[in-house]
Structure 1
Amino acid sequence: MKNTKISASALWCLALAISFSLVQCTKAEKDDDFTPGDPPPVEGGFVNSSEIEPASLVAYFPFEDNVDDKQATVTGGAIKGSGTFTEGRKGKAYQGANGAFISYANPGAVGALTSFTVSFWINTQKHDGGAQGVFALSKEDGSFWGNFFVIIEGNNSSSDKMLTKLHFEKNVTPPINNVEQWLDLPEALRPDNMYGAWRQITYTYDETTSKVAYYANGQRITIDENNAGAIVNRTDRKANDTTPLGALAFKNPAKFVIGGYQNQLGAPYGGAEPWMLTYTGKLDEMRIYKKALTPQQVSALFKLESQGR
C-alpha cells in the first residue's frame, strides 16, 4: 500500500514538471503569425477589417480575380486594356498596365457621398511623364475635372516621397465660390518610402467639421499646425468668404473609374491628355465609406489589412 502511494506521488510530480516545461518553451505570438482561431483584437476591439463601420461602407473592391464591388452598389465593371490580377496585399490584387483601367457603368452610392473615407493599398514604382489616376468619379456633362479622384504625380528625383493629389467638389445651386477642393501637399509633408512595396493610403473628409485628413500606413500626416485636419473653406477664391464647405454634392455622377481618369472613357470627355496616365502598379483592398473614419479606426484598418484580416 505504501509503494502505491509513492508511485502516484511520483507520477503527479512528473506531470507537473512536463507542464511547466511546455509553458517555458511556448513562444509569444507575433503580430502577423497567429495560431488558428480568432486572433487578438487591435485597438478599438476590432478582430477583422469588416468590423470597422460596416454600415457606412458603400464600396469595397478586394480584386479577388474580379473587379466586383462587394457592397454591390458600384456595378457594371469591366477591365479595359491589358490589366489583370496578381498576388496582393491580401489575397489577389489588380495589376495595372499602360492604357489599362477599370470602367464601371454605375457609380452607385459613391455618387451620393457628402462625407467620405477612401482607403487603398498600392505597390508601385516611380514613374515620369505625367500623373497616374488611381480612381475617378466622372461627371455626365463632360467637364474637364471629375467629381472626386486621386492621382499619383510623377517622380524623377532621388526622393522616395510620393505626391498624391486628392480632388473633390461641391456643386450646388446657387453655386459656391470654390467648387473645386484640392489636397496637394508640399514636399516636406509628403510621406517617405512609398515605392516598391505595399503601402496604404487613406483620405477622409468630415462634413460636420469641413476637415480633410490624410494617412499613410495608418499614420496621420501632419498637414496643419495641430494635426487636427485641414479646414476646407472657400478663402482661396474670395478673401471675405470663410464659410466652411460642409456637406459635399457631386454633379451628375455618371461612371466610376479605377486605374485612370474619366477622360479614358472617351466621349464626352474629349480623350485623355498626354499627362493623364493610367495606373501601372498593383492596387488592392479599396474601401469607400460615407463618413470620415476616426484616426483610431484608420489605424486599426491598416493593422488588420496588413495582417490579412
Structure 2
Amino acid sequence: MKKNKSILLLSFVLASTLLVSCEDSIDKVNSPIPYEQIGGYDNSDEVAAEHLVSKFSFDGNIADSKNSITDGTGTNVTYGTGIKGEAYQGSASSFISYNTVANSVINVKSISISMWIKTDPHTGGAQSLFMLPKKTDFWGNIFTLIEGTGPATTMLLKNHIQKDVTPSISWAGQFIEHGGTNVLANMFGVWKHLVWTYNGTSSTYSIYIDGKKLEIPASIAKRYASDPTTGGAPYGELANSEVSKFIIGGFQQHLGAPWSDPDGWMLHYTGLMDEFRIYDAALTDNEVSALYKLEKDKR
C-alpha cells in the first residue's frame, strides 16, 4: 500500500509538471505577435516625426493633436467611417474654422500635405479641402482645391503656394495645376491617399497617390520666382504672410471678415477626409510610401 501511494504521488507530480509545461507553451503561442516594420517604422506617427507640425484624425473631434492649429469651431460637421477610425464628413455647408495658428505652421519653408480623401465628382465650381488664409489678399497662402468637372473619372486638382518677400518677386503666389494630360485618374468613389510636397531647397514640387510618386513634367515640378525663359531664378523657400486663421472644408471667404462674401464658385468640400497632416519638410519617397501603408494598416 505504501508503495502504491508513492507511485500515485509521483504520477500526480509528473502530471502537474506536464500541465504547467503545456500552459506555458500555450501562453507563449498566444502571446502578441509584433507587427513587422514598414519602411523602418512601427506606426504612422513615427514617419518624419520631427517634421510633423499638425495632425487631424477626426475621431469624433476637430482637434489638432500637435496643438499647432487650435481654437476651432465646426459648422455642420459630422463624422463617417474613415480609413483609420472616424473621418470628417463634408457637405455643401460644412467647414471647420480655427482662430489660432502657431509659428510652426506659419513659418514653413518647405511643406508636405498628406490626407486621405473619398469624394465624388461635382459641378458648379471648386471645392476647397483646406486653406491657410491671408488677410490682405483674395487668395490665401497655401491651399488645395478640386475643380468641378461634372461626371468624370479624372480629378482636376490645384495646389497653391506662397512666397512673400522684400523685394517682392513676380510669381509670389503660384497655382500648381493638375489639368490637361496631367489630371489625376481614378480618384473618385474610393479612399485615396493624397500627398503633395514642395522642397524649398530644390524648388521642386512632387505629388503622390496611394504611396506612389507620379511622373509629372518639369513645367509642373520645377518652380521659379519669375519667368525662367527670361532668366527667372528658382522659387526657393516658402514665405507666408498676413496669416489669419485656418479652414478645413472651405475657402477663407467662408470665414467672414476681413474677407468679402464667397463667390458663387467657392464651394465647401463635400467628401470624406481623414488623417490630415502638415509637415515642415518635403517627405521622401520612402516616407510617403511608409505613411500610406501604415495608415492603411490602421497603425
C-alpha separation between the residues in 1 aligned to 2:193 and 2:119? 12
Q: Would you say 1:241 and 2:235 are equivalent positions?
A: no
Write the letter of the residue equivalent to 1:38: P
Which of 44, 47, 50 is the aligned partner of 2:42?
Answer: 47
C-alpha separation between the residues in 2 aligned to 1:39 and 1:112? 36
Q: CA deviation at 1:140?
A: 2.4
Task: Note if contact 1:234-1:241 (Cα within 8 Å) is conserved in structure 2.
Answer: no
Which of 161, 172, 192 is the aligned partner of 2:165?
Answer: 172
Task: Note if contact 1:223-1:230 (Cα within 8 Å) is conserved in structure 2.
Answer: yes
Which of 174, 193, 197 is the aligned partner of 2:190?
Answer: 197
Structure 1 gaps of 5+ residues are: 1-34
1:118-197 equivalent positions in 2, closer than 5 A: 118-141=113-136, 143-157=137-151, 159-197=152-190
Q: When you count helix as a share of all residues, which structure comes out higher?
A: 2
Structure 2 gaps of 5+ residues are: 1-30
C-alpha separation between the residues in 1 aligned to 2:90 and 2:32? 34
Deviations 1:96-122 (A, max 9, x none): 111210000012222111100000001
Aligned to 2:81: 87
1:106-121 equivalent positions in 2, closer than 5 A: 106-108=100-102, 109-121=104-116
- The aligned length equals 268
Write the letter of the residue equivalent to 1:232: R
Q: Would you say 1:232 and 2:232 are equivalent positions?
A: no
Aligned to 1:275: 265
| TM-score, length-scaled by structure 2 | 0.86
C-alpha separation between the residues in 2 aligned to 1:98 and 1:176? 36
Task: Note if contact 1:161-1:187 (Cα within 8 Å) is conserved in structure 2.
Answer: no
Aligned to 2:58: 63
Aligned to 2:296: 306
C-alpha separation between the residues in 1 aligned to 2:123 and 2:105? 30
Which of 221, 226, 240 is the aligned partner of 2:214?
Answer: 221
C-alpha separation between the residues in 2 aligned to 1:164 and 1:250? 21
Moved over 4 A (4+): none
Write the letter of the residue equivalent to 2:122: H
Q: CA deviation at 1:36?
A: 4.4
Write the letter of the residue equivalent to 2:263: E
Task: Note if contact 2:178-2:184 (Cα within 8 Å) is conserved in structure 1.
Answer: no
C-alpha separation between the residues in 2 aligned to 1:175 and 1:230? 22
C-alpha separation between the residues in 1 aligned to 2:226 and 2:244? 30
Write the letter of the residue equivalent to 2:91: A
C-alpha separation between the residues in 2 aligned to 1:189 and 1:299? 21
Aligned to 1:27: none
| TM-score, length-scaled by structure 1 | 0.83
Task: Note if contact 1:205-1:212 (Cα within 8 Å) is conserved in structure 2.
Answer: yes
Q: CA deviation at 1:268?
A: 1.4
Aligned to 2:71: 76
C-alpha separation between the residues in 1 aligned to 2:36 and 2:184? 29
Q: CA deviation at 1:242?
A: 2.2
Q: Would you say 1:211 and 2:204 are equivalent positions?
A: yes
Write the letter of the residue equivalent to 2:209: A
Q: Percent identity?
A: 40
Q: Secondary structure at the match of 2:50?
A: helix
